[in-house]
Amino acid sequence: MRTKDLDSRPKITPDELLALIGTSPADNLQGLSTSVSWKSKWVGELVRQAFDYQNFLNTVGKRIEVFGPWALACAWQSSLMDTYVTGPIRAQARMAAGAGRNPDLFSDMNGWIYKGYSRLLYTMTGFFIEDGKFSREKAGKISTTKKGYEFLKNYMEEFAQLEHSYNNIGLTRLKAMKELLKCLLVVITETPPASGELPFASKASGEKPGSFEDYLALNRTRLENLYRENVFDIKDYSERVTGGKIGFSRYEYVEGSTLHRVRLRDYPTPRGLKSNGKILYMVTPLINKPELFDLAAGKSVIEGMHKEGYRVYLVDHGDPGWEETELELDFYGKTLHDHYLRILRERHPRAEILIMAYCMGGTLILPYLARRAEELLAAGKPMDVKKVALMASPVKFDDGDSGHAGIRALIRRNYDPSLMKELFGAVNIPPQVIEFGMNEIQPAVQYNVVRGFYERAENPEAIADAAPFLYWLTHGTRFPVSAHVQWIQNVFMDNQIYEGKFRLPSTNPKFDGQPVNMDMLRKAGVAIFEYKGSRDPIAPAGSCVAADIWGLARPDASGRKGRPRNVSIEKNIGHIFVGSRRHLAQYLAAVNEFYRS
């Protein structure tokens, strides 16, 4: 008998190979609609209880006149806890945050699992790539021989080890990666799963399902594209392609603008474009890199505003360090805007200054403008900024129609400001902690991002186009810890801006430390443009109501024609709509019409 006959075996099926992995956290057997980091939450609760208990011990230990010998016992026990429990936890959290790693050990382990899983997908796919094409002949030999079965079995055992070490359940990033593995197994064996469900089958609206051969051809192309760019791990790919630098337009930092880590960027109008003589002051959130406004050609707010002739300036909050840990919203919501608008007025004394702000940048710029109106009008001067455009900027935070009831309930259960300061008081809130909270607000966001990227990978241009956005998405900035505590408590939970209780400093003693009168936006003639999304879970449409209640929201009693009014536009978009060329073009057309009015 020939050796070839001895090595042959019945054709391997995807189900046979997946059975070697067994059921794992990557399968979402629970049928959850989101990702659940149950181990992280469990340990997080234990950590909070440990610090709460130590605080109790400290309280008793300081009251020897009341508790006598019990106070000494508690002080001794607190010292032991600080040495062997809370101290090491605190040190680990701060060292991890300072090194840019995830302070959550389970999430950090998941990061290594993603890297390992991506490596296996890359090398396994690469085995079947010859001259840039997926080899059907090679796949046929592997899937019909005993040696081929052993080859695939070894891979399945490695995938199994990673999957069973995973720390999350539900619709997770690893589930999206496993769906790509299933797709790869179907393409190798050219056999559909017994369930008949084909991962990454085309489901375009109104499109008839293609044949199984069409499916195989499409997904060979998908795998060829992913392998060629080595893009199975979206974070690693974004770092390699961008080199850690994103942003399309040229800028320089304004001399004298540095306040702590914050600086003002100047984006001069490019040559060949005519200036309209107006200044656009752009305010970004504290938790994101400002390049969201300037991702790439055709996906840049700054590029679009340059084409309309604006000179653009943008607030860059930088990456706050130890010196910024005590900075509060007074600084980020008042001091730096006073300084930067003074610079702009000195540089462009006769130019009209317009404001554009995104997310929490818009939330905080509104009370600033109201306080600025109070100060200027009290001094007998006219308001010098009359138009502000808001992008997905929430101002109403309640348990009712704002849409924030779920996240507010989550904050009540899990957020402990004193613990945040204990763990991150010297290093600020790391981006991974912010991302954890954002994932709680956005169901299955990591699954959707990764799977959506794999789906679009049948088009090689889509892969390259996504790199700047993926880098921005996976590389956040630290949030100054004191400002974070105030943002959560004063703005998010106490709803102080909406209720007129938010306080800011002032050079005028009459207003210093007093609640901001938001009605001053109307008295000063400030027009508000509001752009919001019906699919936005971070800034729900019900919370983006500034244009409905402040500024020129009411009929103009003067009867003057042509006076700008508030504009409120709701679209079927999500929170980061500027990443879409189509959605961005619609926004730019609408906001420029408002600015020209």
Q: What secondary structure, in 3-state letters, does 220-257 show?
A: HHHHHHHHHHCCCCHHHHHHHHHCCCCCCCCCEECCCC
pLDDT in tens, 289-341: 999 999 999 999 999 999 999 999 999 999 999 999 999 999 999 999 999 99
Average pLDDT over residues 351-375: 97
The pLDDT score that the predictor gives to residue 441 is: 85
Indicate whether 562 pLDDT > 60.
no
pTM of this prediction? 0.91
- Ranges 145-149, 299-303, 436-440: which has the least confidence: 436-440
Average pLDDT over residues 352-380: 97
Q: How far apart are CA 442 and CA 420, in angstroms?
A: 22
- Is the distance from CB of 527 to CB of 562 less than 8 angstroms? no
Q: How far apart are CA 557 and CA 110, in angstroms?
A: 60
Neighbours of 309 (CB within 10 A): 15
pLDDT in tens, 176-191: 999 999 999 999 999 9
314 bridge partner residues = 265, 282
pLDDT in tens, 83-107: 999 999 999 999 999 888 999 999 9
Q: How far apart are CA 456 and CA 286, in angstroms?
A: 31
Average pLDDT over residues 549-556: 77
Q: How far apart are CA 322 and CA 307, in angstroms?
A: 40
The pLDDT score that the predictor gives to residue 481 is: 95
C-alpha closest to that of 570 among 553, 548, 596: 548
C-alpha closest to that of 515 among 496, 501, 494: 501
Indicate whether 559 pLDDT > 50.
no
Average pLDDT over residues 528-543: 96
Q: Are strands 527-533 and 387-391 parallel, antiparallel or unpaired?
A: parallel
Answer positive or negative: Cα dihedral of 90, 96, 100, 105: negative
- Is the distance from CB of 526 to CB of 497 less than 8 angstroms? no
Q: What's the token pair of residue 391?
A: 């992008």
The pLDDT score that the predictor gives to residue 205 is: 43
Residue spans of alpha helices (H) in 85-172: 86-98, 105-127, 136-142, 146-164
Q: Name the percent of the chain lying above pLDDT 70.
A: 96
pLDDT in tens, 17-42: 999 999 999 999 999 999 999 999 99
Indicate whether 146 pLDDT > 50.
yes
Indicate whether 5 pLDDT > 60.
no
Helices 212-229 + 105-127 axis angle, to 10? 110
CB-based contacts of 271-274 (< 8 A; 24+ apart in sequence): 273/306, 273/307, 273/309, 274/309
pLDDT in tens, 259-279: 999 999 999 999 999 999 999
- Hey, what domains does the chain have and what are their CATH numbers? 1-194+211-223 (no CATH), 252-404+495-596 (3.40.50.1820)
pLDDT in tens, 220-236: 999 999 999 999 999 99
Answer positive or negative: Cα dihedral of 349, 353, 357, 361: positive
C-alpha closest to that of 186 among 159, 153, 208, 219: 219
The pLDDT score that the predictor gives to residue 597 is: 83
Indicate whether 137 pLDDT > 90.
yes
C-alpha closest to that of 445 among 359, 509, 538: 538
Q: What's the token pair of residue 247?
A: 């942003």
Rounded to the nearest integer, the mean pLDDT of the chain is: 93
Q: How far apart are CA 540 and CA 532, in angstroms?
A: 8
CB-based contacts of 222-225 (< 8 A; 24+ apart in sequence): 222/183, 222/454, 222/457, 222/458, 223/125, 223/134, 223/183, 223/184, 223/187, 224/129, 224/132, 224/133, 224/134, 225/457, 225/458, 225/459, 225/460, 225/463
DSSP state of 29: T
